[in-house]
Amino acid sequence: MDDQQLDINDIYEKYYRDVYHFALYFTNNKQEAEDITQETFVKIIKSIGNLKSTDKLKTWILSITKNTAMDLHRKKKFIRLFPDWGWEKEKDSFTPEDRLIQKGEWTELQSALLSLKQQYRTVVILRGLKELSIKETAEVLGCSETKVRVDYHRALQLLKKQVLSNEEGWGLHNGQS
Amino acid sequence: MKKGGDYIMDNRKHESFDQRFLAPLKNRPGLEPDEIFVEKLRSELTNGSKTSIPLRQKWHWPILVPMAMAVLLFSVLSASFLGSDTSKESSENVKMADEEDKDKSDKKSEGRDIYNLIASNEGFKRVYQTVTKSTGSPTAGRELVFYFDALQKKDEKYIQDVLVFEYFENNVKEVLDYYHSADFSTLEIESVESSQHGRSLVTFNFLDNRKKDLIRKRLLVDLSDGKHIKVLDYIDPAEINFEKEAKVKVKAEYLDNNFRLGMTEKEAIQIFGSSYEEYTDSDAEDGTVKYWLYQLEADENTTSKVPNKSMVDFENLHNQKIGIQFWIGWSTDEKVMNMSMFYSLKGKIHSKILKSDGTILEDQQLTGEIILDTTPFKLDEEETIAYERFRKDPSAKHLKNIAPLSIARFYIQAQLDRDYHAQYALYTTQPERVMWSKEKHLEEALKYEESKEDILRVFEGFNEGEFVQINDTDGYVQFQNKNGLQGFSMTKDPDGVWKVNFMPMQ
């Protein structure tokens, strides 16, 4: 993609999923994720002229997404954990083994993710879920790579602690806790 | 080095654990955006102004028709992204249409007075107020009320004039049927999304007295010329036959519960009525001498295309012009000896067959034609003599001048008799077509021995099959069953005897 010929079509095609994924992980709300996606692309169109190089297009877009999500979150104070999407399983029928496995299920993780501070939530989404490199994550968050490492490590620890907080006797393997 | 290596390994372990830990979230359900939303946003971003696209704003017309179609067709998907204008707004009063707007009224609206309609019907009032407020056009509110009023009054001419059918196969009757039991006084507008060109996507709900449920629906109102309303109101075919389906289901259960083998004619008439057509049958292998066909819950003027007892009128059943085809077979002593029943529910043809030996066959399928073969597979007298002679001495000389269809039937009979020697002897001896030895055949046949029921299932319909000769030495038996058109391939050996090809059904 040439610097001078940035096409919104191409940008949208290439990044709409990343933007939406970030927004959905951040909010766990389809409606809000759509709003964030829409707002993000409006901002992209407005300020694409300010972008000096397309090398950092992805991190630039994700940084707008992150800011939009945080802004919208601040404005609306929306936290709807699990809307009625009908994905919850019948817990009564689960054996203890099932419950252990279920501990790692997405609903638990998503719930725990939402309970993290935004600073940690974003680093988990970018680094852990969207698999950006340390360098890319640092670019999106506008901080040093060291801070990304530290924050990511802490965020994961908090996430695990949150997921496991109500389950006795399930220790982490590989010496983690 | 060792330390460094351990560190890397530990890191990998951590990484691997973290990845596994996050994996369920990474692959969580609902992660991908709604396709309709994606297309809508794409269209807005690329077609719209590059300076500002406010959140949840109005959408442009070029995407509205496909959008509306998609929304209507995939209402579950779309349910969550629409709805910025809620019915809460509907409680606010809006100005009535002024005289200028009223003049725009089309001729077809003659006889309809918006003031009277909204004064007499709370639902119409809500529609008028909400649509007018949301679109800024009293004409849109008024015309939509006229549309609902026409539906209520079953004004076919008005509906025909305003409805757009070019995208769908619906017709006026289907639309009227859909709203047949709607309580229009319960109409509520949930949301209105308008383009700049006078088109509005309206989401509304109403109570259906027949279904005893709140129905949610969307339609597209087009007032782009400011005058003539056009409405795109797609009716899902599954919704159209709701009432008919309910009746068919009840009737099918009634037939099933009240039928029994051994009933007399008098009893049958008492229970099922006397509106049947009688078909005589002198060829039935199970001794049935005649059949009565009841065609129940059938539309007037619908003539069944059933040519004989072995066919089911799939087309008329599928479109529910005929609700149920119910056959009962009679024995010589005028007792019911078998039954078959066919009906369509939710697009699937259901069948239930009760044979004279008490066997029950039940099935349901989506499409295709059901062809019944209630006659058990059986060689006729002449064939039986020839077959038995061949079994005793499996030599081709006993097959000379025997029709290929009969030879194919010998093959099936040999399989039913588990006489794999005779079966092998029915294979062609053409060197290029011989695929395995007799020993191999016996070994395989014993290893994969099938039940008689399974064999008969494979050859269902074979009784009605016919031999199709392709050239001097090749041909096949063509027959049809629930699996579609089947072929059983054969070859003429140099001695002029028709033989079965190896793996004849493939």
Last residue in a domain, options B341, B365, B389: B365
The distance of A46 to chain B (nearest Cα, Å) reads 6
Q: How many CB atoms sit inside 10 A of residue B428's CB?
A: 22
CATH class of A1-80: mainly alpha
Q: Which residues of B touch A160 (CB under 8 A)?
A: 21
Residue A165 clears pLDDT 70, i.e. is over it: no
Task: Report chain A's mean pLDDT, rounded to a whole number.
Answer: 74
B-chain CB neighbours of A39 within 8 Å are 55
Tell me which chain A residues have a C-beta less than 8 angstroms from the C-beta of B23.
104
Residues in A touching B22 (Cβ below 8 Å): 109, 124, 128-129
Report DSSP state, residue B399.
G
Range of the domain at B442: 381-500
Q: Is B451 exposed, middle or buried (0-12, 13-18, 19+ CB in 10 A)?
A: exposed
Domains contained in chain B, number: 3
Within this chain, do residues B304 and B179 fall inside the same structural domain, yes or no? no
Residues of chain B with Cβ-Cβ distance to A35 below 8 Å are 55-56
Measured between CB atoms, does A129 come within 8 Å of chain B?
yes
CATH class of A92-167: mainly alpha
Best of A16, A38, A65 to disrupt the B interface (most B CBs within 10 Å) is: A38
| Cβ separation A128–B51 shorter than 8 A | no
Q: Do B80 and A113 touch (CB under 8 A)?
A: no
Residue B135: per-residue pLDDT: 81
Of B20, B21, B50, the CB nearest to A45: B50
Looking at the fold, whether B332 and B279 belong to one and the same domain comes out as yes
Residue ranges of chain B whose CB lies within 8 Å of a chain A CB: 13-14, 17-18, 20-34, 37-38, 41-42, 45-46, 50-56, 80-81
DSSP state of B95: P
Per-residue pLDDT, B110: 60
Tell me: do B165 and B68 sit in the same domain: yes
One domain for residues B119 and B209: yes
Which residue has tokens 């309580």? B183
Joined together, the tokens standing for residue A62 give 């994700």
User: Tell me: the pLDDT tens digits for A5-14?
Assistant: 567 888 888 9
Is the pLDDT at A39 greater than 50, yes or no?
yes
Give a three-class secondary structure readout of chain A: CCHHHCCHHHHHHHHHHHHHHHHHHHHCCHHHHHHHHHHHHHHHHHHHHHCCCHHHHHHHHHHHHHHHHHHHHHHHCCCCCCCCCCCCCCHHHCCHHHHHHHCCCHHHHHHHHHHCCHHHHHHHHHHHHCCCCHHHHHHHHCCCHHHHHHHHHHHHHHHHHHHHCCCCCCCCCCCCC
Please state, in angstroms and rounded to a whole number, the distance separating the CA atoms of residues B336 and B307: 22
* B37, two tokens: 């939303």
Determine the Cα–Cα distance for residues B94 and B97; give it in Å rounded to an integer. 9
Token look-up 């991908």 returns B32
B52: closest chain A residue by CA: A42
Domain annotation covers residue B30:
no
Q: Considering the domain boundaries, does residue B456 fall inside one?
A: yes
Shared domain check, B323 and B465: no
Structure tokens at B412: 């099936």
| CB B59, CB B40: distance < 8 Å | yes
- DSSP code of B313? -
Return the DSSP state at B298: P
Report the distance separating Cα B103 and Cα B121, nearest Å. 23
**Mutate: best of B22, B52, B78, partner A, most A CBs <10 A:** B22
Q: Which of B14, B22, B46 sits opposite A174 (nearest CB)?
A: B14
52-81 of A, contacting B, C-beta below 8 A: none
Instruction: Give buried/exposed letters for B284-321 (b at 16+ CB in 10 A, else e).
Output: beeebebbbbbbbbbeeeeebebeebbbbbbebbbebb
Residue B54 lies in a domain: no
- What radius of gyration, in Å, describes the C-alpha atoms of chain B? 34
Statement to judge: residues B101 and B215 lie in one domain: yes
| Residues forming CATH 1.10.10.10 domain(s) in chain A | 92-167
- Same domain? For B483 and B408 the reply is yes
Give me the helix-helix angle, A145-164 and B2-26, nearest 10°: 60
> Residue A66: its pLDDT value, please?
92
Same-domain check for residues B275 and B196: no
What is the value of ipTM here, to two decimals?
0.79
Helix (H) or strand (E) segment spanning residue B330: strand B324-330
Residue in A78, A57, A77 with CA at minimum distance from that of residue A11: A57
Nearest residue on chain B to A37, judged by CA atoms? B41
CB contact under 8 A, A30 and B41: no
In angstroms, the CA B90 to CA B129 distance is 6
Q: pLDDT higher for A31 or B101?
A: A31
Q: Give the gap in angstroms from C-alpha B243 to the nearest C-alpha of chain A.
A: 29
- Predicted local distance difference test score (pLDDT) of residue B47: 60
Interface contact flag, B30 A173, Cβ < 8 Å: no
Residue B369, pLDDT score: 45
Which residues are paired to B32 by β-bridges? none
Q: Does the distance separating the beta carbons of A46 and B51 come in below 8 Å?
A: yes
- Residues B210, B312 within the same domain: no
What pLDDT score does B188 carry? 93
d(CA B245, CA B315): 16
Residues 6+ apart with CB under 8 A from A146: none
In a domain, residue B451? The reply is: yes
Do B151 and B97 lie in one domain? The reply is yes
| Structure confidence at residue B284 (pLDDT) | 67
Residue A137 is predicted with a pLDDT of 94
**Sorting pLDDT into bands at 50, 70 and 90, what band is A50?**
confident
Q: What is the pLDDT along chain B (506 residues), one digit of tens a residue?
A: 334 444 444 444 455 667 778 888 888 888 988 877 887 788 777 664 332 333 333 333 333 333 444 444 433 323 322 333 333 333 333 333 333 344 444 445 567 888 889 989 999 999 998 988 888 778 888 889 999 999 999 998 888 888 876 655 667 888 888 898 899 999 999 888 877 667 788 889 999 888 778 888 888 888 777 667 888 887 766 566 667 778 888 899 999 888 888 999 999 999 999 988 888 776 666 778 888 988 888 877 776 656 555 566 777 777 777 889 898 999 988 899 988 888 887 667 788 888 888 777 777 654 444 444 445 677 888 888 899 999 999 999 899 889 999 999 999 999 988 899 999 999 998 888 887 888 888 888 887 777 777 788 788 878 878 898 888 899 999 887 766 678 899 999 999 999 999 888 76
pLDDT number for residue A91: 36
Within 8 A of A113 by CB-CB distance, chain B residues are 25
Check: CB of residue B71 under 8 Å from CB of residue B81: no
Minimal Cβ distance to A39: which of B37, B55, B80: B55
Q: Give the whole-angstrom CA distance, residue A156 versus residue A172.
A: 13
Asked if residue B112 belongs to a domain, the reply is yes
Query: What b-and-e string marks burial along B196-215, b requiring 16 or more CB atoms within 10 Å of the CB?
Result: eebbbbbbbebbbeeeeeeb
Closest residue to A109, CB basis, from B22, B53, B54: B22
Distances in Å between the alpha carbon of B429 and those of B78, B121, B470, B491? 64, 84, 19, 9
Smallest Cβ distance to A104: which of B13, B24, B34? B24
**Dist. CA B187–CA B343, nearest whole Å:** 35
Same domain, residue pair B189 and B94: yes
CA distance B229 to B225: 8
Same domain, B343 and B454: no
Instruction: Locate CATH 1.10.1740.10 in chain A.
Output: 1-80
Q: What digits encode the pLDDT tens for the residues A76-97?
A: 433 332 222 222 333 333 444 3
Pair B197, B113: CB distance under 8 Å? no
Domain end (from B313, B340, B365):
B365
